[in-house]
Amino acid sequence: MAGVLQGVTVIELAGIGPGPFCGMMLADHGARVIRVERPGSSGRFGTSGNRDILNRNRERIELDLKDHAAIEQLKDMVKEADALIEGYRPGVIERMGIGPDVLLALNPKLVIGRMTGWGQQGPMAPLAGHDINYIALTGALHSYGRAGEKPTFPVNAVGDFGGGGMMLAFGVVAGVLHARSGGQGQVVDCAMIDGAAILSAMTYTFLGNGQWRDERGVNLLDSGAHFYDTYETSDGKYISLGSIEPQFYALLMKKIGLAGDPDFAQQMNPLKWGELKVRMTALILTKTRDEWCAIMDGTDICFAPVLSLKEAPQHAHNLARHTFVEDGGMVQPAPAPRFSATPAPPVKLAGR
């Protein structure tokens, strides 16, 4: 098995977080990704040694990019590559003597993926930041959390990985397709702030159409509604409900014994959501998570138990789909998405 990106060569200037995630996505699907690391890092692949999932499926070499000979070696590699990705602050690779003008002169078809938080231009471009800051400036962080409480950030999934690494992988593949179809190489300016913003497109749609209040925890999809939320069970675990459509909501009401209740019949009345959530909370607390699974599993309620990181790989659905795999004694998410004709090769952690 070679993967859908067989024949694509990417040079990855070693970094952390979203850059390696992009490299992982490309390498998972068959691209040859050569990770260029600083000398002395051979025993420490990335930030987590050989057990860093983000750095799997790579080739790696060590180059001191402060050394002229190493820069020349990198330039030779660029001549045969489809793409180069880097995650330094704006201007760093230019000062190293390998800026876009230099690289594109060596290889006019090269795609240069530049991963930053604030982007290559703009008043904040040279400043430090992290995921929490990038999503804060887009309005996204403002919308995550409970009513009357402070914003709750979703780990670093939205800025670093969804809006950063995944967006860069998309940009690199799109750029390579363009170059191979008769176009030219170019720079992909992938800023986590831009990516986090575009991930909020539907929320801005709702807001622009007057269907979203610009505050937390009072809207359809942000924990405001009683039928789209998580609930604690009697054993201290949780379940998730997403019964938006009327037929799914009706099935939920039937399964939990509330069919015909006049208050719960007012599903889409936001003025009722608060009191209905209080009642739902008390009701769900009367049974364990497993008891609710026995009632709701296998139905169209739009239900799932909230599983821990250790529980998730053992769920029957995940096992059937091989959603998680193991290499080197480490359980990890399998490559995604799935391709019917060119499936991803087996994962391989660094050093294996």
Q: Which residues are the active-site residues?
A: 130, 160
Cβ-proximal residues to 319 (8 Å cutoff; 6+ apart), any chain: 313
Q: Which helix (H) or strand (E) segment is 223 a member of?
A: none
Instruction: Render 169-221 in DSSP notation, one character per residue.
Output: HHHHHHHHHHHHTT---EEEEEEHHHHHHHTTHHHHHHHHTT-S-SSTT-STT
- Phi/psi for 60 (5° steps) reads -150, 145
Q: Which amino acid, one-letter code, is at 259? A: A
Angle at 250 between CA 245 and CA 251, to 5 degrees: 100
Instruction: Render 294-319 in DSSP notation, one character per residue.
Output: HHHTTSSS-EEE---TTTGGGSHHHH
- Of residues 96, 92, 90, the one with CA closest to residue 63: 96
| Cα 241 to Cα 227: distance, rounded to the nearest angstrom | 6
